[in-house]
Amino acid sequence: MSVSVLYAGNLNYWPIYETELGAALSELGIKANLSYDLAPAEVDYIVYAPNGPVQDFTPYTRAKAVLSLWAGAEKVVANPTLTQPYTRMVDNGLSEGMTEWVTGHVLRHHLGMDDYIHRTDPVWHRAAPPLARDRTVGVLGLGALGATAAQALCALNFNVCGWSRTQKDIAGVDCYSADDGLHTVLSRAEILVLLLPLTPATENLLNAERLAWLPKGAVVINPGRGPLIDDAALLAALDSEQVGHATLDVFRIEPLPDDDPYWAHPNVTVTPHIASDTRPASAARVIAENIRRGEAGEPLLHLVDRAVGY
């Protein structure tokens, strides 16, 4: 088979994707005209990132699918020019990267490592942390990334409870849904991890009322989406010590502005959206498999339901 594939991602990464996508397509026996510069009428598939050059999909009348390199779909599902099937990126590289970041920061807060790393006094403080089996971690969002992270935390012996829009069944995780379930998870979570998609229903989900449901001094870790949190409410909760610390990787505006109060708050850790990034080698295989499926008339992987936003 032969197809024309437009790379419409960040052009700085084109040399890498040219190599990785070419190899992945070749392994599947797909002959591809792969380029970042194709006439719209020639394009069969668009390999896409929201920060790439394509914002208007109208000219791509032949395109069979738009295959995203990003896990999130909120930046494109409302685009009225997008009428083609749209898939989001789900691959092992994303899941592994997110799990490593999440478990690293959960362990950091569980063990109280900041107290030792940032200490300047010479006093011999001895305070052993509780064991993981005596600490409850809540995970909001039990999709591909959330479920993998929750299972890794279970393997470390944490008590893990999780909440999602629809009821899930994950071995070792106390799974909840609906409003009552959200209250249950938040009221138990000494460390809370946010891995929900951003939709109208989840924006500002963690507001003042729900932050008050957390145990006093709980830690909030957000590698999901910045607008999941009401920022003013979180800052107030930090100032009142209702929340003991917040480790944030995602924000409403990125890069985070220099004058944003999160930078200066003593109980906030800012990381620059590094919790999970698309790895070209593994992402290319996902893209190639979806092109194979599209050509074979098989269902596409990770097709976005625009009605729910992911």
306 catalytic? Reply is no
* Active-site residue identified among 273, 279, 293, 306: 273
| Per-residue burial over 266-285, b = 16 or more CB atoms within 10 Å of its CB, e = otherwise | eebbeeebebbebbbebbbb
* Active-site residue identified among 188, 225, 292, 302: 225
265 catalytic? Reply is no
- What value does the CA radius of gyration of the chain take, rounded to a whole number of Å? 21
The residue with tokens 């990126």 is 89
Sequence-ordered strand ranges (E) for 157-288: 159-163, 173-176, 191-194, 218-222, 243-248, 268-270
User: Which residues does residue 173 pair with via DSSP β-bridges, in sequence order?
Assistant: 160
> 209-216: long-range contacts (C-beta < 8 A, 24 or more apart)?
210/182, 210/186, 211/237, 211/242, 211/243, 212/237, 212/242, 213/183, 213/186, 213/187, 214/186, 214/187, 214/189, 214/242, 214/243, 215/187, 215/188, 215/189, 215/190, 216/241, 216/242
Q: Which amino acid, 306? A: R
Contact 34, 22 (CB under 8 A): yes
Q: Catalogue the active-site residues.
A: 225, 273
